[in-house]
Homo-oligomer: A and B are copies of this chain.
Amino acid sequence: MVFFTEPSVTLVNNKIMTELKNDRFLRALLKQPVDMTPVWMMRQAGRYLPEYRATRKKAGDFLTLCKTPELATEVTLQPLDRFPLDAAILFSDILTIPDAMGLGLYFAEGEGPRFENPIRTKTDVEKLGVPDMHYDLGYVMNAVSMIRRELNGRVPLIGFSGSPWTLVTYMVEGGSSKDFHTCKGMLYEQPELMHKLLDVLARSVIAYLNAQIESGAQTVMIFDTWGGVLTTRDYKEFSLRYMQQIIDGIQRERDGRNVPVIIFSKGGCQWLEDQAKTGADALGLDWTLDIGLARARVGDKVALQGNMDPCVLYSSPERIRQEVAFILESYGKGSGHVFNLGHGIHQHVDPEHAKAFIEAVHELSQPYHQ
């Protein structure tokens, strides 16, 4: 593990930051006209790329890869060197904040993330404080600055965080879960304690995303991966409410440019109208809702990001093009669409299929922007 203790601001020098050569992605998030639909892929720096696997091997383990800014920068840029993507996304883990809070993140082989010290009691919750962004999480800020510098204006850089509710699921369960019964137990039986936990996380996420923006992130995304396991009432009270708090608390402008915010509740298409009221600029969509219907429901308020089933990338390039065409037609004319998968790209996808996907979006979307 490598920690950088210098405040990340020393690495940022706005004067030498070059102009964006490709701002299609930022423009689409703000519903401004574009020449073609921008595209990126969740988990685009990942195991489906042989060069990623090589860097990961060099790092030794996943956490070292996340905590070494040079290596995080290297893997962040890899997909951009292969494909004409319209955005880069910080390579990091979703659980950096709880790790910085002292929960002891580790990865058990084949079992996903685990915490040495899960949060179960009032005493556990009361011990938690907002981590120091430039000491405890300095490695993230250094990676952001370094990536931004290396990008040199090619495309915008996305910063991100997990949503408070999503972080809670891992923190209380102690890792991944099938039915989330420990964290739902706290939610149902001790709602005040759950709110206390969510509040310290929301304040941490605000500080985290603001520090990423200060360090060079040009837009931020909040991943609410597990919002969709809640009832409607609980989604609003325990998940969306804290995303709202974050949206209200983060810096929305930097260097004279808007910093758009994207929120994405997987499995949450039934709550789009509520999500659109938060002030987020864009909503992520998984693949279960037709994007045309989503646009009809909320498209005058927000941009939409999504929504191809990642499994389509296992198909032939012809079938991939066909699916891209379906989704573009469903969204229809005009800006406000960022093409993406509805979930992270799977590790066994052929990179050539990812390439076919990205090229199809650029090629087939142009008539929709004339």
Contact = CB atoms under 8 A, between A and B. Distances in A.
Contacts of A185: 311, 314-315
A179 interface: yes
A233 interface: yes
A315 B190 CA distance: 10
Interface string A162-186: 0000000000000000011100110
A203 interface: no
A51 interface: no
A9 interface: no
A181 B345 CA distance: 12
Number of copies: 2
A278 to B, nearest CB: 19
Nearest to A229: B288
Interface string A243-278: 000000000000000000000000101100000000
A155 B188 CA distance: 32
A188 B310 CA distance: 12
Nearest to A189: B315
A200 interface: no
Contacts of A188: 311-312, 314-315, 319, 323
A326 B269 contact: no
A311 B346 contact: no
Contact of A181 (B179, B269, B290, B346): B346
B288 A230 contact: yes
Nearest to A182: B314
Nearest to A315: B188
Interface in A88-127: none
A130 B314 CA distance: 31
Nearest to A235: B288
A29 B73 CA distance: 58
A232 B293 CA distance: 10
A270 B267 contact: no
Interface string A204-222: 0000000000000000000
Given A179-B346, A181-B314, A270-B288, A319 B232 contact: no
Nearest to A287: B231
Given A290-B232, A326-B233, A319 B189 contact: yes
Interface in A302-358: 309-312, 314-316, 319, 323, 326, 346, 348
Contacts of A326: 233
A309 to B, nearest CB: 6
B290 A231 contact: yes
A17 interface: no
Contact of A189 (B230, B290, B310, B316): B316
A54 interface: no
B184 A231 contact: no
A241 to B, nearest CB: 16
Given A179-B310, A230-B288, 9 more contacts: A185-B314, A185-B315, A188-B312, A188-B314, A231-B287, A231-B290, A232-B289, A267-B267, A269-B270
Interface of A: 179-181, 184-185, 188-189, 228-233, 235, 267, 269-270, 287-290, 293, 309-312, 314-316, 319, 323, 326, 346, 348
14 contacts: A181-B314, A184-B312, A184-B314, A188-B311, A188-B314, A189-B315, A189-B319, A228-B288, A230-B288, A231-B287, A232-B290, A233-B326, A235-B288, A270-B288
Q: List the 5 shortest-distance A-B pairs measured between CB atoms, nearest first.
A: A184-B311, A232-B290, A188-B315, A185-B314, A231-B287
